[in-house]
């Protein structure tokens, strides 16, 4: 049995369907991210799990128990909002203790749990500091400690790192993942940041226009995108029109002057996707010309114009000579490094 299960969940506001036919089974201790652009329904789905919104239809179950009739405060969930929502007149310790007070936890136990929670997020010694005297990263840690101190059955994170600068955000991603791994709390993260979802998640739910486009591990969704939307949204990619010709066994997948054995069960026009770092320059392959060459430290970024359209290539700065702008090249890749979409 799934620990947290959403079955056929939908949400409508009047005639507008914001979430449609959302089904997901989350295992105990799993870290799952809802990833998609603004307006795709990811926050609405999180709010239905939290109980702030009622689903129009469908079921939400936690350990087999229907949540839809349970008040948000009684669901036992921990929530960290984008704004952190700390009480400005309370110290860090008082903010963290608030949920325990509402649950009538005895003072002695409350004090010890608050101390342990703040230490867990690296804020030992900050118990008496008010939010206005804390940095954005420190406030984020207080909000996380407040959510975790109640020992929630599920931790819900609504873009909690979006207000941080890039360096601090990356540091907090590492800390958040370590904390989640240590305590083993089932976690749902809402984010529009592809790198954040891939860094933190056991699985990613990619959403678009209220529907699920793909569910998979970060590696699966990145390397084998199930749709054009996933391919384009989750990092840089190259999409080429191709044809599978089965006039002779076993058939060939043809992309301009590049070809390979055809995948099983497909024929006719298809689209292939290859990530830029999976393409290299070789003696044969797709004919192209280097339009732009950009040095980016540990790698080179090439913008090419190929016989099948624009192409992006990322090549490691590993001591090899690199082609220059205007140079004719051939693009090549391994068949296993591309994904194929189209006619079956």
Domains within the chain, CATH numbers bracketed: 4-232 (3.40.50.300), 236-342 (no CATH)
| Mean pLDDT of all residues in 83-111 | 90
Per-residue pLDDT at 108 exceeds 60: yes
What integer pLDDT is reported at residue 246 of this predicted model? 86
Per-residue pLDDT at 216 exceeds 70: yes
What integer pLDDT is reported at residue 343 of this predicted model? 56
CB 278 within 8 A of CB 333: yes
- CA pair distance 184, 120, nearest whole angstrom: 13
- CA pair distance 2, 5, nearest whole angstrom: 6
What integer pLDDT is reported at residue 307 of this predicted model? 94
- CA pair distance 216, 204, nearest whole angstrom: 6
| Mean pLDDT of all residues in 187-201 | 93
Per-residue pLDDT at 27 exceeds 50: yes
Per-residue pLDDT at 266 exceeds 90: no
Of residues 236 and 325, the one with the higher pLDDT is 325
Of residues 82 and 208, the one with the higher pLDDT is 208
What integer pLDDT is reported at residue 160 of this predicted model? 83
- Output the average pLDDT for the chain: 91
What integer pLDDT is reported at residue 122 of this predicted model? 86
Helix axes 136-148, 166-183, angle to 10 degrees: 20
Q: Which residues pair with 154 in a beta bridge?
A: 77, 186
Of residues 228 and 19, the one with the higher pLDDT is 19
| Mean pLDDT of all residues in 276-281 | 95
Per-residue pLDDT at 1 exceeds 80: no
pLDDT, tens digit, 9 for 90 and up, residues 29-77: 999 999 999 999 999 999 999 999 999 999 999 999 999 889 998 999 9
Per-residue pLDDT at 93 exceeds 70: yes
Which range is least confidently modeled, 25-34, 130-139, 208-217?
A: 130-139
- CA pair distance 206, 331, nearest whole angstrom: 30
pLDDT, tens digit, 9 for 90 and up, residues 142-162: 998 999 999 999 999 998 888
- CA pair distance 218, 77, nearest whole angstrom: 25
Per-residue pLDDT at 267 exceeds 90: no
Per-residue pLDDT at 137 exceeds 90: no
Q: Is 309 left (phi over 0), alpha (psi -120 to 50) or beta?
A: left
- CA pair distance 204, 220, nearest whole angstrom: 9
Per-residue pLDDT at 344 exceeds 60: no
Residues of the chain above pLDDT 90, percent: 62
């Amino acid at each position: 049995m799934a620990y947290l299960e959403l079955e056929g969940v939908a949400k409508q506001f009047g005639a507008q369907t914001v979430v449609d036919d959302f089904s997901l089974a989350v295992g105990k201790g799993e870290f799952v991210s809802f990833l998609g652009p603004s307006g795709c329904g990811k926050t609405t789905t999180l709010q239905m799990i939290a109980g702030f919104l009622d689903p129009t239809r469908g079921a939400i179950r936690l350990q087999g128990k229907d949540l839809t009739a349970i008040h948000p405060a009684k669901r036992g969930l921990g929530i960290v909002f984008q704004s952190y929502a700390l009480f400005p007149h309370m110290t860090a310790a008082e903010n963290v203790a608030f949920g325990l007070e509402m649950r009538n936890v005895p003072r002695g136990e409350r004090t010890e749990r608050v101390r342990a929670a703040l230490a867990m997020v690296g804020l030992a010694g900050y118990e008496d500091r008010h939010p206005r005297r804390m940095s954005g990263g420190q406030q984020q840690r207080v909000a996380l400690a407040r959510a975790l101190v109640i020992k929630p059955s599920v931790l819900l994170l609504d873009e909690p790192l979006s207000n941080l600068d890039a360096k601090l955000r990356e540091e907090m991603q590492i800390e958040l993942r370590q904390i989640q791994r240590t305590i083993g709390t089932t976690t749902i993260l809402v984010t529009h940041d592809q790198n954040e979802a891939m860094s933190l998640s056991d699985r990613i739910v990619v959403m678009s226009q209220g529907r699920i486009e793909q569910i998979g591990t970060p590696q699966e969704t990145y390397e084998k995108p199930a749709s054009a939307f996933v391919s384009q949204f989750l990092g840089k990619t190259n999409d080429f029109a191709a044809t599978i010709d089965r006039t002779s066994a076993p058939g060939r997948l043809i992309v301009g002057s590049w070809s390979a054995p055809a995948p099983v069960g497909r024929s006719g026009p298809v689209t292939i996707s290859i990530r830029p770092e999976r393409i290299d320059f070789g003696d044969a392959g797709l004919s192209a010309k280097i339009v732009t060459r950009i040095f980016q430290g540990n790698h080179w970024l090439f913008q090419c114009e190929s016989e099948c359209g624009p192409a992006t290539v990322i090549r490691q700065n590993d001591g090899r000579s690199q082609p220059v702008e205007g140079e004719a090249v051939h693009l090549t890749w391994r068949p296993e490094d591309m994904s194929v979409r189209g006619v079956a």
